[in-house]
């Protein structure tokens, strides 16, 4: 019993130490965008948003990746959310892709 509790505690500590932050997921999303790995970028931006739902830049990044994959509806929804969060640049993206 004690052994399993110790193993569980070690696992939880290790998980906490190696869990990524919203900023790391966002940065990884940007790297994947630059290498045109749009699906990978969407995954990372989504994780960044899960960690910090107010990360407007992650919504812009994810929206851009969706646009690149021809998911205009999804991209426009993300741009709209970024605008709601106060990112004025989102409205420029909406003008370009969502009319």
**Residue 41: strand, helix, or coil:** helix
Distance of CA 50 to the CA centre of its chain: 7
For residues 21 and 11, give the distance between their C-alpha atoms in angstroms, rounded to a whole number. 18
- Are the C-beta atoms of 62 and 78 separated by less than 8 Å? yes
pLDDT at 9 > cutoff 60: no
Q: Is residue 83 included in any domain, yes or no?
A: yes
- Residues 12, 18: Cα–Cα separation, whole Å: 10
Instruction: Give the CATH number for residue 86.
Output: 1.25.40.10
Whether residue 13 lies inside any domain: the answer is no
What pLDDT is attached to residue 2? 53
Is the pLDDT score of 83 beyond 70?
yes
Domain containing 85 equals 20-97
Pair 42, 65: CB distance under 8 Å: yes
2 domain-assigned: no
- Domain count for the chain: 1
56 falls within a domain: yes
Asked if the structure places residue 57 within a domain, the reply is yes
pLDDT computed for residue 20 by the predictor: 79
Q: In the predicted model, is pLDDT for residue 11 greater than 50? A: no
């Amino acid at each position: 019993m004690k052994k399993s509790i110790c193993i569980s505690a070690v696992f939880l500590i290790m998980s906490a130490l190696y869990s990524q932050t919203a900023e790391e997921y966002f940065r990884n999303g940007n790297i994947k965008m630059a290498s045109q790995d749009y699906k990978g970028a969407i995954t990372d931006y989504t994780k960044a948003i899960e960690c910090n739902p107010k990360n407007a830049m992650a919504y812009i990044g994810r929206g851009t990746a969706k646009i690149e994959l021809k998911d205009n509806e999804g991209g426009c929804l993300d741009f709209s959310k970024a605008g709601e969060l106060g990112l004025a640049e989102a409205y420029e993206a909406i003008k370009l892709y969502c009319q």
